[in-house]
Amino acid sequence: MAIADRPEYLTKLAAFCSGVTLETLGPEVIDRAQWVIADSIPVIAAGMQMPEMKALVANHLKGSPRGDAWVFGAGARALPIDAALLNGTAGTWLELDEGNLFAKGHPGIQVVPAAVAAAQELGAKGSDLLRAPPCCRCRASPGSSRRHRHRSALAIASAHRDNRPVVLWPTMK
């Protein structure tokens, strides 16, 4: 889909998220973002200990090029796309990831693995990483009333800056 063909809400959301600064978020939002990230990492590591996850990691990384992104709890590093996939899967495995009644789901675990992998790939600062969880709290589909929405699309939207997407998945251009 060409940039000009993107829905207006996605363009506005991407502009908002790419313009967010720690100063505009405020201390309470920053504190919550720190907790979401700090809570997500051990939950990912715990999920990574399940036999099925260990098998998935071994099979997925077999023959894959080695990268520098952490695969939490697996003692491995991978390409950012692989680390995001494996960490995201492990993070939801035990259903211990953060939840939010008002967000009607667990948006943090949908964005933290991709944001950490992208931050590692780009050499981003921790302050840049802190901007990701608050941006994933927006509604992905205006008017939707489903109770358990996943915000994966917002990980992509929050990665846009100056109409140049940071490609997190190879099928996205």
**How far apart (Å, rounded) are the C-alpha atoms in residues 112 and 69?**
13
CB 133 within 8 A of CB 32: yes
* DSSP label of 70: E
Q: Residues of the chain whose pLDDT is less than 50?
A: 1-2, 138-173
Residue in the structure block whose two tokens are 């927006």: 138
pLDDT attached to residue 29: 85
Q: Which CATH number fits domain 3-157: 3.30.365.10, 3.30.70.2190, 1.10.4100.10, 3.10.20.30?
A: 1.10.4100.10
Six-digit token string for 14: 């991407």
Please report the pLDDT score of residue 101 as a whole number: 56
Contact predicate 90/72, CB 8 Å = yes
Half-sphere exposure of 139 (CA within 13 A, CB side): 9
At 99 the pLDDT is 65
Q: Which helix (H) or strand (E) holds 77?
A: strand 76-78
The answer to whether 43 touches 96, Cβ cutoff 8 Å, is yes
pLDDT at position 149 is 46
What's the whole-model pTM score?
0.73
Closest listed residue to residue 54, CA positions, set 10, 89, 19, 101: 89
Angle subtended at Cα 88 by Cα 32 and Cα 108, rounded to the nearest 5 degrees: 20
